[in-house]
Amino acid sequence: MSIEVTFSYGIVIRQSALAALGITRARVLEVFETDRPMAEDSELLSFGPSFSGEACNEFVRRLESLGLVYVDDFFDLTLSHPNWLSFSAGFDGSPKG
pLDDT at 95: 59
Q: What is the mean pLDDT of residues 12-20?
A: 96
Nearest 5°: the CA angle 51, 52, 55 is 85
Residue 97: pLDDT over 60: no
HSE value, Cβ hemisphere, 13 Å, CA-based, for 35? 0
Range 54-62, long-range pairs (CB < 8 A, 24+ positions): 55/9, 56/9, 56/11, 59/11, 59/31, 59/32, 60/11, 62/31
- pLDDT by residue (tens digit) across 18-76? 999 999 999 999 999 999 999 999 999 999 888 788 999 999 999 999 999 999 999 99
The model's pTM: 0.87
Between 36 and 81, where is the model more confident? 36
End-to-end CA distance of the chain: 23
pLDDT at 73: 96
